[in-house]
Structures are given as C-alpha cells and as structure tokens.
Amino acid sequence: MISKEAESGQKISSSVFEITGMHCSSCVSRVEKNLLSLKGVEKASINLVTGLARIEYDSQITGPAELKKVIENTGYKAKLINEIEQKSISETTKKTSKNYLTEIKLIVSVILTVIVVFISMGKMAGLELPLSDFHRNILLAAISLPVFVWCGWEFHAGAISSALRGSTDMNTLISIGTSAAYFFSLIQIIFPVEIGANTSTMFDSSVTIITIILIGRYIEKRATQLAGKELFKIVSMRPPLAHIEINGQIEDIPAQELGPGDIVVVHPGEKVPLDGIIIEGSGSIDESLVTGESMPVSKGIGETVTGGTTNVSGLFKMRVTKKAGDTFLSRVVRAVQEAQASKPQIGKIADKIASVFVPAVLGISIFTFLMWMIAGGENRFPTGFTTAISVLVIACPCALGLATPAAISVAVGRAAKMGVFIRRGEILEKLPRADIFAFDKTGTLTISRPRVFHVQTIQNYKPSSLLTLAASVESGSSHPFSIAINHEAKKIGQNFLEAKSIESIPGKGMSAIIDNEWVHVGSEKYMEMKNIQINELMGDSLRFQEEGKSVVFVAHNSKAIGFIVFEDPIREEAPRVISEIKKGGFRTLLLSGDSENACKFVQRKLGIDEYHARLLPDEKSKIIAEIQKSGKKVAMIGDGINDAPALAIASSGSIAISTSENITLENADAGLKGTSLEAITKFLNLSKKTIRVIKQNFFWAFIYNIIAIPVAGGILYPFTGIILDPIISACAMSLSSISVVLSSLRLKWFNLA
C-alpha cells in the first residue's frame, strides 16, 4: 500500500487487491462502479486479465477492510496484496487442487458431450442406436445432466449471484441460453409436442455450448497467464534459501527471513537473496533481468548488489542492507502490480459499453424470438427459439473487456524485460502523445560520475606530482571530484602522502599540510579566499569551461601549480536517442541545474532544440507548467530525486532514471534502472504499438458483435436460408475472446528497434 498527502490535506492511499471470479467487462464495470460508490474512494481500476484492482482512497474515511467487503458483496473473492512476491513459487507455477478440478470438469464435459452428439447425430451417420425416440431422449437427458449441472455450474452460479444483486453479466447469457435448451428438451420428453416439422430435443446444443465455452476459457486463461508471466519471472528472481554466516558457521535459511546486517555468502551460479554491499571477495553479476543489460558486471568490496541478480562467477560475502519488503525487487513488483491494475483512458470505452451490453443482448434475444413468432411461418417456434439462444451465446462482452487489459499486461511485462518498470499504465497512452521530451542533464544524459579529463601544470611541474598532492589532500572526502582525483592517482600508481591539519569548506575546496607545506585544492573563489594568484592559468581554464567541463585549481606553498579538468561524460547512446526522438517529430528540451557553458555544450553535442541552465528543482517544474499552459504536452525524463517536481507535473508521462538500486518511482510513471537510454526509444515504440493493438482489439471486438448478433438472430435467412446453430455461435464467441488475447500477445515479439 502506497500513501501520499493530497493538497487538500486528505491522506490518499493506494491498495492492490487480487479479485477472482470475474469473466467479462460487465463484471469489471460492476465492481468498479460499486467501489466508486463507497465514500472516500477516489479511483478504482481493474485489469480483467490479471484480476488485479488498484484502488485510491482517503484513508481517513475508508480502508482495505471496507474495500474488500464491497468487492465480496458484489459477488467476487478479494485478497489484499501488499507483496505478490510473498507468494511462494509453488503457488504461482504449480497446479493447485482447484486447477486439477477445472481440468477434470473439462475432460468430463468433453467426453460426455461427444457421447451426446454421437447419439443425437447418429441417425444422420447411419449409426443410430436401436432405441425409440423416447428412450433415446431419456438417455440424452441423463448423460447431459452432469455437464449441464456440474460442469456448467460456474455459469449458473454466476448468473444467480448477479441476479440476486440486480445485475447481469456474461454468465447470465450463457446460463439462460443453455438452460433454455436443456429445459425445453425435458419438456419435449414429458410433453412431446410437434412444433412445425420439428419435434427434436436440444440436449446436444446445451452441453456443446457449455463444453466449447469451457474450452475457450481454459485456452484464454492459459494465454492470459502467458501475457502476465513477466511479473512472476521477476518474483522468481529471488532464491528461496540463503547461506547466512552465524558465528563463523554457514546455515541455510529462507531468504524471506533475512534482515539488515545479516552476512550472506553467495557462491558462483547462485542468485543474490536481497539488496546488500559486498564486504569480502568479488563476483561477476548478471543483472539482465533487473537492468536489461546482457553483459555481467564485475563488482568487489564496497559495491552494491541487487536481490534477484545472478553471481555468474566468483565468491563473495555481502551484508544485507534492506529487508525483503524494501528491496529494489519488491519496489519493482509493486510498480508492476499497479501498472497491470491501471487502465488508460481508451480502456474506459469498454466500461461504458459493458454497463448496458448484457441487458441489451437479452433484449435483442427476446425481440428476435418475438419477430420469428410473428413472421416465421410454419417453423416459427423452433426457429425463433434457436435464434434467440444463438443471440445469447454469440454475444461476447469478454472480447471488449479483454481488449485493453490483455495488451497492457503484455506491454508491462515486455517493458520490465527491457529494464523499464511501469508504475502507471496510463503512460503507454500518454507518452506517444507528447509534443516535447524534456531531459535532465546530470545522471540522465550524462553518466553522473565525474572523471579526470586533463591535468595541466605550470613550469616544469609534473602532472603526476600534482595529482599526488591533490589526492593526498582529498583522500578523506566523498565529494565526486575527490573520488575522481583519487581514482586517477591510483590508476597511474601514485602513493598518497600524509596530510595534516586538513581544512574543508564545502562546495569550495580543501587544504592540508604535506611535508610542512600547505597544499590547497579548490575552485577559483577558494583560491581567492587563500590569496593565491591564478591569472596565469585562467586563459586555459576558461577554454575547458566553455566546453562544459569543470576545473579545480591546485596550489602548493601559496603558489598555483596547475589545475585538474573534470568531465561528466555524455552517455555513449545519448546522441542516438535524441536523434531518434527528434525523427519521431518530437521537440527536445534540456533542463539542468548545471552551468550555462555545460548545458550549452551538451545541447550542441546532442542537437537538443532548447536548454535552460542553472535551474533549481522547482524551477524545472515551473518551466514545464508554463509550456503545458500553452497547450503543449511534455514528457519528462530525469533522475527521480532532484527532478521529482518536474516528473510529477509532466502531463504526457515521466520516466525516472537510476544507476543504483535506489530507483525512485513514487513521482514518476515509470522507472529505468541502470540500463541504456536506448530503452527509452524502445519504450516509446512499445507504447505506440500497444495503443495500436488496443485499438485493433476494440475494432475487431466491435465488428464481431455488430455482425455476429444480427447473423445469430437470422438476418441472413431471407437471402440464404441459413439459420446459425447455437453450437456454431458458441464456437464464434470463444474464438472471439481467444483472438483478442492472441492479438495482444503479439506485443511480446514486436521489433522495437
């Protein structure tokens, strides 16, 4: 559950529930409507494919218990999910007794249906049983009863539950259609009446409809599980057991029981159990399922490792830094859950239709029967009865209900595989509609780790000697420039000297006594404070600063001896990413707190359309707000920390980038962790293709129902003499739902380059 303070002072919270028993968009629409009618509920969004519901509410007015009660009073089972990863792998991958019962019902239904159809159609094939019509119909009724009552009970129970609550759904249509056929056939046995030229029963239609729809739902369920399986891939990344060191002894305990401070041993080929820091040894870490990067990363003492990644080679000990619920993996799972439960604006079309779809189909079915009774001639009753049942079973609100969530579930999983973790599914719809892509500089377009680019000295002073002095002064500092200096000095094999009487002014520089002489390292202003002249160096230093680089001066014994130039390297792929975005017709904007020269250099290097420099975090959001007031839509890509206000206000979606395990998703619609920026262009292409697939799904679902319902009603009969058999109608309905899911699964294999 995630909470945030609303501007009004309300405490707006978000919870995710797992709902079971829903089968169509009517079910979804009814649950959402009832949830929204509860006081304090701000938003309710349900994904039919995953069964996940994301509900936002004022926690001062209502809470999870009340939400669960509303869902269950609507006729469905609900379970609050704080951490889907807490489910054991066996629960998500192994068959349960309920799964086996479903398969047994399906097998029984198929076998008995084949027997019923054989007996019913045997006469046509010359294989009629030596029985009278009466005894044959009694036998058909007996064999059909288990299929109608036991195998088809989920339809009847659902219809009854809906009726008791004054509503209808897909189960209503199936139950009424199969019940009408079955009970009509019973009446024909007890009170055989010749209706026109037809006195046959419809047991075969009743059981075949049930069997076909059960098969369709089974295939649909398997397909939808495939659509959402990326979430369970992420869940299964964490190993069930961990090797913990206790008093020098190694014991195996459940990874879930680990806590901050525990020492864990990770062998080659094993998964890292939780987030932590390496304290001994080293390893080559495969982070592909977390970051999308295929090449293993070498990590040693002091470096962080992420739970769920794989130690390809090497052996190391790590200290756990996060409990199970706070790890990167846990945050990703929560983000994916929320994304799969969310619903883009386009998906709300189905909600509006679903509220009237089933009642409308019932009305059309009754109208069809009455019209045939009035104008159907000699066979008006059997024809009217058959077409009325066909209308009921051919109508498919499932296809409409699956059009959006199936595509969203596949897209969220595909994005996660690329290292883009979606929190709000709406970004898939909003991102392609952006007019401007705004980028932060440091940590987004650059790697955010300064490195020494050049060392310049005066007179005959050696660059290596200057680095040694600077590194000795800065050895105890954690400033990025200090780390870069120390790294460069170590790289060229310099030994640090003993520094005494260390002085430091944050943001300006440091001083220390080395070999009884003062050494100063710092900015131009710091040198002025120390009364050190740097005029001789200013010309060359300005040249580097105009290229967007940073300069730190070094003085020895009150005399400037040179300067160190730092660069924050532009990501190798950044030029390609900006170019691809501009080719898509989008404008690009750079928003940075860095200097004018640094921003101008990056703008020129990458071909960015416009830039704003020396901005505070709130100033970035103000610029975006002003642009959006003019009617333009802005998508923001930033580091998720100091860019939080800008990420939160972007109207066309926001992506937070992080190169550490501390990815921030609270203020962004999606997060990109430690992977190439090219994932952004791939994600943009995925968004475009997802919306295209959703629109295609809607088109074919609409076309199917618009054509199928009149055909089932007999509209072609005056021209072709064709009356659609209810069995054919049931096949068409099942295929319609399956086709929507299969259409959505295409997103798993689209080329996004």
How high is the pLDDT of residue 725?
82
Check which CATH number belongs to the domain holding 580 and give it. 3.40.50.1000
Work out the number of other CB atoms within 10 angstroms of the CB of residue 380.
17
Q: Which of 33, 68, 93 is the last residue of a domain?
A: 93
Quick one: average pLDDT of 415-444? 88
**Burial readout 257-290 (b: 16 or more C-beta within 10 A, e: otherwise):** ebeeebbbbbeeebbbbbbbebeebbbebbbbbb
At a CB cut-off of 8 Å and minimum separation 6, what does 621 contact? 645, 646, 648, 649
More confident residue, 561 or 671: 561
Decide if pLDDT at 196 tops 50: no
DSSP state of 87: S
Task: Tell me the residue range of the domain where 14 lies.
Answer: 2-93
Q: Is 226 a member of any domain? A: no
Residue 720, in any domain of the structure: no
Comparing CA positions, the residue from 90, 749, 654 lying closest to residue 417 is 749
The most confident of the ranges 221-230, 239-248, 445-454, 530-539 is 530-539
Together in a domain, 517 and 440: no
Give 30's Cβ-side CA count (13 Å radius): 26
Q: Is residue 161 part of a domain?
A: no
- 505 with 580, same domain: the answer is no
Round the average pLDDT of the chain to a whole number and report it. 83
pLDDT value at position 158?
A: 82
Confidence of residue 340 (pLDDT cuts 50, 70, 90): low
d(CA 690, CA 105): 36
- The CATH code of the domain that includes 290 is 2.70.150.10
Quick one: 430 and 466 in the same domain?
A: no
pLDDT band at 294; cut points 50, 70, 90? low
- Determine the Cα–Cα distance for residues 568 and 448; give it in Å rounded to an integer: 6
Averaged pLDDT, 294-306? 81
Does 464 share its domain with 599? Answer: no
Strand-by-strand arrangement of the 420-422 sheet: 420-422, 670-673, 654-658, 634-638, 436-439, 587-591, 610-612
Higher-pLDDT residue of 399, 270: 270
Can you give the pLDDT at residue 1? Answer: 38
Contacts of 546 (CB under 8 A, 6+ apart): 597, 601
CA-nearest of 359, 378, 382 to 369 is 382
Query: Is the per-residue pLDDT at 466 higher than 90?
Result: yes
Looking at residues 427-446, what average pLDDT do you find?
91
The whole-model pTM stands at 0.72
Give the integer Cα–Cα distance in Å for 35 and 435: 35
Among 659, 678, 697, residue at a domain's last position: 678
Q: Domain check: are 598 and 528 in the same one?
A: no
Q: What is the mean predicted confidence (pLDDT) over 313-318?
A: 91
Q: Per-residue pLDDT for 656 more than 80? A: yes
489 with 588, same domain? no
Q: Is residue 368 part of a domain?
A: no
Active site residues: 440
Strand partners, 550: 566
Instruction: Report the 10 Å Cβ neighbour count for 157.
Output: 14
Quick check: 613 and 636 in contact, CB under 8 A?
Answer: no
Position of tokens 């239609």?
205
DSSP letter, residue 238: S
439 beta partners: 590, 637
Span 143-183, pLDDT tens digits: 999 999 999 998 898 888 878 877 777 788 888 889 988 99
According to DSSP, the residues that pair with 590 across neighbouring strands are 439, 611
Reading the block at residue 143, the tokens are 């064999």
12 occurs within a structural domain: yes
Distance CA 209, CA 206 (A): 5
* Confidence at residue 144, expressed as pLDDT on a 0 to 100 scale: 94
Please check whether residues 563 and 460 belong to one and the same domain. yes
CA distances to 434, 436, 578, 582 from 585, rounded to whole Å, are 10, 9, 11, 5
Last residue of a domain, one of 638, 653, 678: 678
Same domain, 306 and 455: no
Residue-level pLDDT at 419: 80
**Number of compact structural domains in the chain:** 4
H or E stretch covering 393: helix 380-394
Residue 716 lies in a domain: no
Burial 604-642 (b: 16+ CB within 10 A, else e): eebebeebbbebebeebbebbeebbeeeebbbbbbbbeb
Contact yes or no for 26/358 (Cβ under 8 A):
yes
CB 741 within 8 A of CB 677: no
Q: Identify whether the C-beta of residue 318 lies closer than 8 Å to the C-beta of residue 293.
A: no
Inside any domain, residue 429 = yes
579 and 639 fall within a common domain = yes
Q: Are 496 and 558 in a shared domain?
A: yes
Query: Is 366 within the bounds of a domain?
Result: no
List, as one string, the DSSP characters of 181-211: HHHHHHHHHHS---BTTB----HHHHHHHHH
Are 462 and 436 contained in the same domain? Answer: no
The verdict on 470 and 563 lying in the same domain is: yes
In one letter, which amino acid is 324?
A
Tell me: pLDDT of 225 over 90: no
The model's pLDDT over 86-143, given as tens digits with 9 standing for 90+, comes to 443 334 444 455 567 888 999 999 999 999 888 887 655 566 677 888 888 899 999 9
- CATH number of the domain that residue 76 is part of: 3.30.70.100
**Is the pLDDT score of 507 beyond 60?**
yes
- With H, G, I as helix, E, B as strand and everything else as coil, classify residue 507: coil
